[in-house]
């Protein structure tokens, strides 16, 4: 049944996130960008929202809510409306925990999930992106070779969120064969022999989110460290979830641009009237309104397919392609509507312009 109506629980969650974004995220976003860091107290504050723990089974101390890609989509849009960098920092433990909830062996779940059910923020992360031109999540170069009772991982990973503090990394690596399905995930502790961590990286955008580079030189992990054990994990679904999440964050930033540009254009005068009364500006704002809607429904469509456990490869890809393009245009137009003020750091639009360009090229790397 085709429906655009969130459940009451989803509306409650969305409104809570909207309040949090307004009260706790937006006020510190600029400072965190200028200082290229996420305050520890913010991570603790966000932790209290239970973004991660609520979706962990009760057996391991979590809230036991079944994971909902749709709810995540609603939550992510709101958090990203506040600030994408801080939003991704706050949910980054999910990059590690959620795949374990979804694909982990009982032993893996018993060992790791309790880490994310405590009262304080626990950092863990995912290592997907690799350096070099034209990164493609289906063309990973990092390898994992079976060697007796263990796997040997070799390769370089970059843009790893919270690499500076993560206790464990979920490292995606080619495990024989080609394409998305050949990829498997491996749990690597921070202190693994042969693992070198360089952090922070210097990025164009999302500066509030510290990222790092992992160099894996024949890092040996036990066979039990492969996510899902012998069964392994469905890497394609991980990438699809990631693309849908990326789209949700892009919708949030785009809406932020629109809601900032509209009052600005009504307030700002040129040639003796509000610039919003010029068709060129007014139609630009109308296009933002059209596209924020279109982007959201396309992103919901992917999330809904994922929620049903169906193969959403097509829907997630289309949502990613469309949202990446439209978000870039909206942020770009937002700068133009503000003119000179779109170019200076007294207004948030230049920050959103950088964040969109950065995020929209992180194909597959924004998994939650």
Partner 1 sequence: MIDFHLTDSDKKVLGAIRTEALACRAYARHYDENEHEFPPDELPEAKNFPPLMSLFAGRGADDTGLGVMSMMIAAGQSWGDYSVRMRRGKGGLGNAALRAAGTPEQQKQWNHLTLAMAITEPGCGSDPSRVSMTAVLDSVTDEWILNGEKIFVTTGCRAEGVIVWATIDKSAGRAGIKSFLVEKSAPGFIVAHKEKKLGIRADDTAAYVFKDCRIPRGNLLGGNEGIPKESSGGFRGVMKTFNMTRPAVAAIGLGIAQAALDWTREQLESAGIAIDYSGGLAAQSAITQRFMELEALYEAAMLTVLRAAWLSDQGKSNNLESSICKAKAGAAVREITQGCIELLGPMGASRDHLLEKWFRDVRITDIYEGTGQIQRLIIARTILDYGREELK
Question: 243 exposed, middle or buried (CB, 10 Å; 0-12, 13-18, 19+)?
Answer: buried
**296 SS3 class:** helix
Length of the chain: 368
In the bound state with its own copies, the residue whose beta carbon lies nearer, of 134 and 280, is 280
Which residues from 170-199 bind partner 1, rule CB under 8 A? 179-180
Which residues from 272-291 bind its own copies, rule CB under 8 A? 278-280, 283
Question: Residue 64 — left, alpha, or beta (φ > 0 → left; ψ -120 to 50 → alpha)?
Answer: left
- Report d(CA 50, CA 274) in Å as an integer: 44
Contact of 189 with 225, CB cutoff 8 Å = no
Supply the minimum distance, in Å, between the C-beta of residue 186 and its own copies. 41
Which residues from 255-294 bind partner 1, rule CB under 8 A? 262, 265-266, 268-272, 276-283, 285-287, 289-290, 293-294
Applying CB under 8 A, what is the total number of residues that bind its own copies?
4
Interface with partner 1 (CB under 8 A), residue from 111, 201, 223, 260: 201
Which residues from 8-67 bind its own copies, rule CB under 8 A? none
Contact of 318 with 244, CB cutoff 8 Å = no
Those residues with Cβ within 8 angstroms of residue 316's Cβ, 6 or more apart along the chain or in another chain: 239, 240, 241, 243, 244, 247, 302, 305, 306
- Report d(CA 222, CA 105) in Å as an integer: 14
Is the bond into 271 cis (omega within 30 degrees of 0)? Answer: no
In the bound state with its own copies, the residue whose beta carbon lies nearer, of 220 and 287, is 287
In the bound state with partner 1, the residue whose beta carbon lies nearer, of 27 and 297, is 297
The site string for partner 1 over 303-332 (x = CB under 8 A, - otherwise) reads xxx--x----xx--xxx-xx-xx--x---x
**204 binds, options its own copies, partner 1, none, Cβ within 5 to 8 A by partner type:** partner 1
Find tokens 């064969």 and name the residue. 177
Supply the minimum distance, in Å, between the C-beta of residue 220 and partner 1. 27
Applying CB under 8 A, what is the total number of residues that bind partner 1?
94
**86 SS3 class:** helix
Q: What is the longest distance spanned by two Cα atoms in the chain?
A: 78
Supply the minimum distance, in Å, between the C-beta of residue 292 and its own copies. 20
In the bound state with its own copies, the residue whose beta carbon lies nearer, of 223 and 282, is 282
Contact of 187 with 124, CB cutoff 8 Å = no
In the bound state with its own copies, the residue whose beta carbon lies nearer, of 4 and 271, is 271
In the bound state with its own copies, the residue whose beta carbon lies nearer, of 24 and 282, is 282
Name beta bridge partners: 225.
none
> How does strand 125-127 pair with strand 168-174?
parallel
**239 binds, options its own copies, partner 1, none, Cβ within 5 to 8 A by partner type:** partner 1
Interface with partner 1 (CB under 8 A), residue from 62, 161, 205, 334: 205
**170 binds, options partner 1, its own copies, none, Cβ within 5 to 8 A by partner type:** none
Supply the minimum distance, in Å, between the C-beta of residue 342 and its own copies. 19
Which residues from 144-183 bind its own copies, rule CB under 8 A? none
> How does strand 273-274 pair with strand 125-127?
unpaired
Which residues from 13-52 bind partner 1, rule CB under 8 A? none
The site string for partner 1 over 119-158 (x = CB under 8 A, - otherwise) reads ----------x-xxxxxxxxx------------------x
In the bound state with its own copies, the residue whose beta carbon lies nearer, of 283 and 297, is 283
Q: Which tokens in the block code for residue 20?
A: 């949090």
Query: What are the DSSP calls for 172-185, one per residue?
Result: EEE-SSSTGGGEEE
Question: Binding of its own copies at residue 329 (CB under 8 A)?
Answer: no
Supply the minimum distance, in Å, between the C-beta of residue 281 and its own copies. 8
> How does strand 150-161 pair with strand 195-198?
unpaired
DSSP conformational letter for 159: E
* Site residues (vs its own copies, CB under 8 A): 278-280, 283
């Amino acid at each position: 049944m085709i429906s655009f109506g969130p459940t009451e629980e989803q509306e409650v969650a969305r409104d809570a996130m909207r309040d949090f974004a307004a009260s706790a995220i937006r006020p510190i976003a600029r400072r965190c960008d200028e200082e290229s860091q996420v305050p520890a107290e913010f991570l603790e504050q966000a932790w209290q929202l239970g973004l991660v723990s609520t979706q962990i089974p009760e057996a391991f101390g979590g809230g036991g809510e079944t994971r909902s890609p749709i709810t995540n989509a609603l939550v992510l849009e709101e958090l990203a409306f506040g600030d994408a960098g801080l939003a991704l920092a706050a949910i980054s433990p999910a990059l590690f925990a959620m795949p374990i909830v979804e694909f982990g062996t009982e032993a893996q779940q018993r060992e790791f999930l309790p880490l994310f059910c405590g009262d304080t923020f626990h950092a863990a992360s995912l290592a997907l992106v690799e350096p070099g031109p034209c990164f493609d999540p289906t063309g990973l170069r990092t390898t994992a070779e079976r060697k007796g009772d263990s796997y040997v991982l070799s390769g370089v990973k970059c843009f790893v969120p919270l690499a500076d503090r993560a206790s464990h990394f979920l490292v995606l690596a080619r495990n024989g064969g080609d394409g998305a399905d050949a990829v498997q995930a491996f749990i690597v502790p921070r202190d693994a022999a042969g693992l070198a961590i360089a952090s922070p990286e210097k990025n164009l955008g999302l500066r509030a989110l510290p990222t790092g580079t992992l160099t894996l030189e024949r890092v040996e992990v036990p066979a039990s460290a492969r996510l899902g054990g012998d069964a392994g994990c469905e890497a394609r679904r991980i990438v699809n979830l990631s693309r849908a999440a990326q789209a949700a964050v892009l919708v949030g930033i785009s809406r932020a641009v629109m809601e900032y540009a509209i009052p600005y254009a009504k307030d700002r005068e040129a040639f003796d009237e509000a610039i919003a009364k010029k068709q060129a500006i007014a139609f630009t704002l109308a296009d933002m309104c059209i596209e924020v809607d279109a982007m959201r429904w396309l992103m919901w469509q992917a999330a809904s397919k994922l929620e049903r456990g169906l193969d959403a490869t097509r829907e997630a890809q289309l949502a990613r392609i469309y949202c990446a393009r439209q978000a870039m245009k909206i942020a770009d137009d937002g700068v133009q509507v503000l003119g000179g003020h779109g170019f200076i750091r007294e207004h948030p639009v230049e920050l959103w312009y950088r964040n969109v360009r950065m995020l929209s090229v992180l194909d597959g790397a924004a998994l939650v």
